[in-house]
Structure 1
């Protein structure tokens, strides 16, 4: 009886220790999830806090008297006259109407710094397109200089240094009260390419470049990856050659992306002489990088198809090719699409391989084709984040938000397709 009691006590103590370990393990899991969610929330909060003002632009609206004598311009259609004309003078005169105390040459120069360097070109382009507006007064909206924009949006934020003098700050406050300086949605961000000034910079060129690059990547990597997975899983004999190929595919999936950039630089640009900084080369490099991911995920999807499907098809007289194309591949397609979309999302966020093939160039124009110079969103973010102007800091964060939106959408699409198309047996 005593032995039975002692054994029961040992079992109870063992169960208590086991339950304590299980509770600790669950606690560790909950703690790990909490740390992961906290880190993710902190990251998103930091990006949003820095980037939401990037979706806001600061403008200066003025009634500009396009006086021909003030601009030394008689014929706006004459390119030589426009190149010699003074388009800044009427803009500063329009500002002086609101700040009449700025009458000295020094104060006029300080007042002129409220506007970006493209203000004169906007007036020039307006007159070139509409020469009949000469000697008339027009209401024109100009983008404010980066320093003015930072002061308007971040005057109370210690992370931003205000580079306006006290006098300029008083003038900005006065113009804000009069409604001359105002803020609104930054449509420039989605309607223009890159620029040397934050007020005129946008992500449209980078978005178009990313779309063109992803199209090339998809057209190459998806059919090649699916075909390779089907062959390796269904038709390839099991020998040393296929084992060698499988090992290398798995290894390539873990190779740093910059290696693929070096490969693209050596082969596509160095050997084949293809141009730098074009979506075709970028798409080819990213296709090589994405192929292992697509092949591995597609093979896993093919393996998940029950053997009974193959046996049933073969039982009614279907050939090997018919079994694969008519039954196995359609049933494995949801997993293939999911893996392909996730691989494309990974490629969309890559920067290192594209830097090596020249897509880090300063591109102002929006690309019109696959062989036009272009950049992509990750590279655009890299360029803005490394810029010295404070306005580019918020633009970089805003571009990160745009990039995250695309990547989250692609992952959500992959989940939706998997749920929509998958079949349960």
Structure 2
């Protein structure tokens, strides 16, 4: 009976105490369950996102090509032998005719059969002109010689090989006709038609033809912008953080500055694009679509992130380090730069890399300063017209051709890879250099 009745008014029955403990333990288990469900929920949608992107984009890393024995016939390229006096002759020659002649020979097509030759011509990409021209310009000794070349197939052929077209529908409702399918089957049978690693995706610039479109220009433009962001926002952000945290007096002015820095970190990125358009392009007269302008706009957007991260890293350094440095006679400058800042460096680097990763994925501010332009040639300097990876993804997503869907997802995979590398680097630097107190 002792476990049922209280002995006085201040004593709780043991059975009632047991019921209270069970309720608390049950509540704790429910909370843990909710946490696990939240993590599982997030991981599910992350996996769904990655699966959607990868399943649609992995084919972009393969490009269908046709193996042909190309004869660089001088009678087609330079029939009047004018290339010594006019070097442009090699740039304007009819190179597609060389590829078409090689394809006729491989398929046994009579060049006089207009229906068959027209169908065969459509199998070869118009980008073959650039491919063969660059080969001859870089090696003029190929003139009148036969070279085995993997020539790009057209976008329709590439889509058909990758299963992006429904070939079971009526011939009138698809771009690839029955006689072309027969030619493709013959080429596949002798190993002359296959998917090869798409190096052009990483080296080519913008193109209206999906088989020759790439993110090479976008990668260079993004690299220029990230370099500008690093060179401008890192020193300014770290200097501002050190002053605000270590030297600035604590008064209403510094409180207002701190509040505004926190607010700027939450401002929509498109506002920075409007600021860059007004200040850097309209007022300063900087060139539109240039990596320099894009880098400066992204620097303004990244500064609050770096300042907040650097101040947090400085605050994390124990006060005893400051007291010890001052106690042995160090000046305040020596205390900050010789003792506090080196210990805060992992946090500073982590915040900087995260800020750069955020800037790398921004699209809205770059659209407002004109980096949505169609750029074919790689920029030689930050002042040349360029585009960026997220902008290139945006442009491809608006294209009507089915082949650009895989290009869009492929570019997203490349962008995610860069972001993953940057975030992994931030984690590594933090764990490599951080000290526990």
Alignment TM class, shorter chain as reference? over 0.9
Q: How does 1:13-412 map to 2 (within 5 A)?
A: 13-68=19-74, 73-75=79-81, 77=83, 78=86, 86-100=94-108, 104-127=113-136, 133-154=142-163, 163-412=175-424
Deviations along 1:300-334, one digit per CA (max 9) or x if unpaired, are 11111111111111111222222111111111111
How many angstroms does 1:13 deviate by?
Answer: 2.0
Q: 2:430 aligns with which of 414, 418, 424?
A: 418
* Residues 76 and 82, structure 1, Cα contact 8 Å, conserved in 2: no
Matched position secondary structure for 1:97: helix
Matched position secondary structure for 2:150: strand
* d(CA) in 2 for partners of 1:22, 1:106: 76
- Between the two proteins, the alignment pairs up a number of residues equal to 424
Alpha-carbon distance change, 241 to 59 in structure 1, aligned in 2, over 3 angstroms: same
Note the residue ranges of structure 2 that are not aligned, 5 or more in a row: none
Alpha-carbon distance change, 222 to 107 in structure 1, aligned in 2, over 3 angstroms: same
* d(CA) in 2 for partners of 1:101, 1:368: 45
How many angstroms does 1:138 deviate by?
Answer: 3.4
How many angstroms does 1:359 deviate by?
Answer: 0.9
* d(CA) in 1 for partners of 2:372, 2:14: 72
Question: Which segment is superposed worse, 274-283 or 186-195?
Answer: 186-195
How many angstroms does 1:86 deviate by?
Answer: 4.5
Using structure 2 for the length normalisation, give the TM-score.
0.90
Question: Which segment is superposed worse, 365-374 or 191-200?
Answer: 191-200
Deviations along 1:101-132, one digit per CA (max 9) or x if unpaired, are 56531331121011111224444555556566
* Residues 68 and 106, structure 2, Cα contact 8 Å, conserved in 1: no
How many angstroms does 1:389 deviate by?
Answer: 2.1
Matched position secondary structure for 2:401: coil
Alpha-carbon distance change, 241 to 79 in structure 1, aligned in 2, over 3 angstroms: same
How many angstroms does 1:383 deviate by?
Answer: 1.3
* d(CA) in 2 for partners of 1:190, 1:240: 52
Deviations along 1:35-82, one digit per CA (max 9) or x if unpaired, are 111111111111111111111111112123444556783326146866
RMSD, aligned CA:
2.5
* d(CA) in 2 for partners of 1:416, 1:169: 52
Alpha-carbon distance change, 242 to 170 in structure 1, aligned in 2, over 3 angstroms: same
Deviations along 1:206-251, one digit per CA (max 9) or x if unpaired, are 1111111001001111111111111111111111111111111011
* d(CA) in 1 for partners of 2:28, 2:281: 57
* d(CA) in 1 for partners of 2:395, 2:213: 12
Matched position secondary structure for 1:384: helix
Alpha-carbon distance change, 141 to 19 in structure 1, aligned in 2, over 3 angstroms: same
* d(CA) in 2 for partners of 1:40, 1:55: 22
* d(CA) in 2 for partners of 1:202, 1:230: 43
Matched position secondary structure for 2:67: strand
Matched position secondary structure for 2:123: coil
How many angstroms does 1:407 deviate by?
Answer: 0.9
- Residue in 1 that maps onto 2:6: 4
Matched position secondary structure for 2:6: helix
Alpha-carbon distance change, 323 to 51 in structure 1, aligned in 2, over 3 angstroms: same
Alpha-carbon distance change, 335 to 131 in structure 1, aligned in 2, over 3 angstroms: closer
How many angstroms does 1:156 deviate by?
Answer: 8.0
Note the residue ranges of structure 1 that are not aligned, 5 or more in a row: none
How many angstroms does 1:163 deviate by?
Answer: 2.9
How many angstroms does 1:85 deviate by?
Answer: 5.7
